Structure 1
């Protein structure tokens, strides 16, 4: 194999690694968004529950 072919193969491996790294970063970012969205939904549910509890307490008075 000539040097040009070796260089092309090495460049191909680097590009492939970078592409795989970007895919992995995208997966991590997607997982982080999912966790964040879940936390936001949980927080909204807690606030909603707290408001409901406060409304019930005010009705009892």
Structure 2
């Protein structure tokens, strides 16, 4: 855990750790979800992406 601008920050990857291979994007998604509460969406349009994001936020609050 590092201190950054007065807030604790837990980096997704640590110094010296290599990024996962392209085939391991599932691991990247899991780390992003764990660290920031976000996930990657392949979307056909910005409206679709917005709808998915709002749905996710509603589910996260409940």
TM-score by length of 2: 0.29
Considering only CA atoms, is the larger Rg found in Structure 1 or Structure 2? 1
Greater RCO, 1 or 2 (C-alpha within 8 Å, sep 6+)? 2
Give TM-score scaled by structure 1 length. Answer: 0.30
More helix by share: 1
